[in-house]
């Protein structure tokens, strides 16, 4: 079913996040459209939502499967007074907010994988793409969220059927996408206001509570470099802490992390 965008606007009307909602039946990329709106001066909290994407992107320019009628594809415009080095903190904040929204309808098995994936029982249900842009000397953050809601296993690309999942596959029932957008915006607003008041520390604690990686052996792939060690947490900047056999800890700022099965 298509979105009832007008009903959703009414529910979000007085919210900081989602108070301005731009809905498109088809978009190439909600992050790109959000960046255009930000360039034109759209206020913080503007949400761009699409029923379908033709050029959805994940991290590292990967394609994000974006069929119509079943999932969430949305982007937020943020204008926090943060340094470029704090970009990872916003990504982790988004992960905590999304995990909270997912856990409200699927209480078991929800976890966060550094830096930007939400998992249910080890399978990816959501990806996050945070981008920083500068317009007329002012920094803007675009936070893209792709959440698999009602897509069925057989509709995933064959390469992803064993590693991806959806809320429907995990709970055995369809879910209201409008309710999920509202819940996600509400929870994001709550965590974002906490971040602006108190800094990253409560976000870090919330992230570690949801993490399924802490203390486990992991492999980090960054370009052609491969690192392995034990996930020792995240630091005050959102970097992953990787411990090695000698007890030394290395800060990892970017890369793909995989939990190793030993």
Q: What is the pLDDT of residue 63?
A: 54
Q: What is the pLDDT of residue 254?
A: 86
Between CA 55 and CA 57 the distance in angstroms is: 6
Please, are residues 244 and 229 in contact by the beta-carbon 8 Å criterion? yes
Between CA 86 and CA 115 the distance in angstroms is: 13
The third-level CATH classification (topology) of the domain covering 5-210 is: BirA Bifunctional Protein; domain 2 (3.30.930)
Q: What is the pLDDT of residue 223?
A: 80
Between CA 174 and CA 98 the distance in angstroms is: 18
Give me the torsion for CA of 226, 227, 228, 229, rounded to 10°. -170
Tell which CATH architecture fits domain 217-259.
Roll (2.30)
Return the HEC string of the chain.
CCCCHHHHHHHHCCCCCCCCEEEEEEECCHHHHHHHHHHCCCCCCCEEEEEEECCCECHHHCECCCCCCCCEEEEEEECCCCCHHHHHHHHHHHHHHHHHHHHCCCCCCEEEECCCEEEECCEEEEEEEEEEEEECCEEEEEEEEEECCCCCHHHCCHHHCCCECCHHHHHCCCCCHHHHHHHHHHHHHHHHHHHHHHCCHHHHHHHHHHECCCCCEEEEEECCEEEEEEEEEECCCCCEEEECCCCCEEEECCCEEEECCC
pTM for this model (two decimals)? 0.92
Q: What is the pLDDT of residue 56?
A: 66
Please, are residues 70 and 26 in contact by the beta-carbon 8 Å criterion? no
Q: What is the pLDDT of residue 64?
A: 56
Mean pLDDT by 10 residues, the chain (262 residues): 87 96 94 96 97 72 68 95 86 97 95 93 94 89 96 87 93 96 98 96 94 89 89 91 89 88 72
- What residues does each domain of the chain span? 5-210, 217-259
Tokens of 47: 């949400």
Q: What is the pLDDT of residue 60?
A: 45
């Amino acid at each position: 079913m298509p979105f009832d965008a007008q009903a959703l606007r009414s529910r979000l009307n007085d919210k900081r996040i989602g108070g301005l909602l731009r809905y498109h039946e088809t978009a190439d990329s909600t992050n790109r459209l959000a960046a255009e709106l930000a360039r034109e001066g759209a206020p913080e909290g503007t949400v761009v939502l699409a029923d379908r994407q033709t050029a959805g992107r994940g991290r590292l320019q990967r394609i994000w499967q974006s069929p119509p009628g079943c999932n969430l594809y949305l982007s937020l415009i943020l204008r926090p007074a943060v340094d470029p080095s704090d970009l990872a903190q916003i990504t982790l904040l988004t992960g905590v907010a999304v995990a909270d929204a997912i856990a409200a309808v699927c209480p078991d098995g929800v976890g966060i994988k550094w830096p930007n994936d939400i998992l249910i029982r080890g399978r990816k249900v959501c990806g996050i793409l945070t981008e920083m842009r500068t317009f007329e000397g002012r920094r803007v953050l675009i936070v893209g969220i792709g959440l698999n809601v009602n897509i069925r296993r057989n509709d995933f690309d064959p390469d992803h059927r064993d590693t991806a999942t959806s809320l429907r596959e995990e709970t055995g029932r369809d879910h209201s996408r409008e309710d999920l957008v509202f819940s996600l915006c509400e929870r994001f607003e709550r965590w974002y206001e906490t971040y602006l008041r108190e800094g990253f520390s409560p976000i870090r604690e919330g992230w570690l509570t949801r993490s399924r990686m802490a203390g486990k052996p992991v492999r980090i792939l960054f370009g052609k470099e491969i690192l392995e060690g034990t996930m020792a947490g995240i630091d005050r900047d959102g970097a992953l802490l990787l411990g090695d056999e000698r007890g030394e800890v290395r800060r990892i700022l970017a890369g793909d992390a995989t939990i190793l099965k030993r």
